[in-house]
Amino acid sequence: DAEITQSPRHKITETGRQVTLACHQTWNHNNMFWYRQDLGHGLRLIHYSYGVQDTNKGEVSDGYSVSRSNTEDLPLTLESAASSQTSVYFCASSESPMSGETQYFGPGTRLLVL
């Protein structure tokens, strides 16, 4: 069955370190998204991609970057981790290009920045 996986599932790091969260999908979807989930804020969009070599900033992109070198993967990099980036991160994908398409979510990565 097609799926979307994230790794690691849990990560503890120190402020100032670079951290990369992996996202891999086997749906063959063109669209991929990264969200962060925080109490009282719901899900907020960090970055998204509509295809290989395409990346776009979302609502809360400062301090994060992504790159899309193939269809299956969209890694999220925290360039210099800050305590404010302690959160649960979700990757999602959807079939393009029709709007209204369902997004399929990974299980999440819980990140703690000390």
| Residue nearer to another protein on the CB measure, 79 or 95 | 95
Q: Please, what is the minimum distance in Å from the beta carbon of residue 35 to another protein?
A: 8
CB 61 within 8 A of CB 54: no
Which residues is 55 bridged to in the sheet?
none
Binding site for another protein (CB under 8 A): 4, 31, 33, 35, 40-45, 48, 50, 58, 90, 92, 94, 96-97, 99-103, 105-108
| Residue nearer to another protein on the CB measure, 73 or 79 | 73
| Residue nearer to another protein on the CB measure, 8 or 16 | 8
Q: Please, what is the minimum distance in Å from the beta carbon of residue 104 to another protein?
A: 8
83 φ, ψ to 5°? Answer: -60, -30
CA 11 to chain centre: 14
Q: Please, what is the minimum distance in Å from the beta carbon of residue 91 to another protein?
A: 8
Continuous H helices in 1-114: none
Selection from 66, 61, 59, 74 nearest residue 29 by Cα: 74
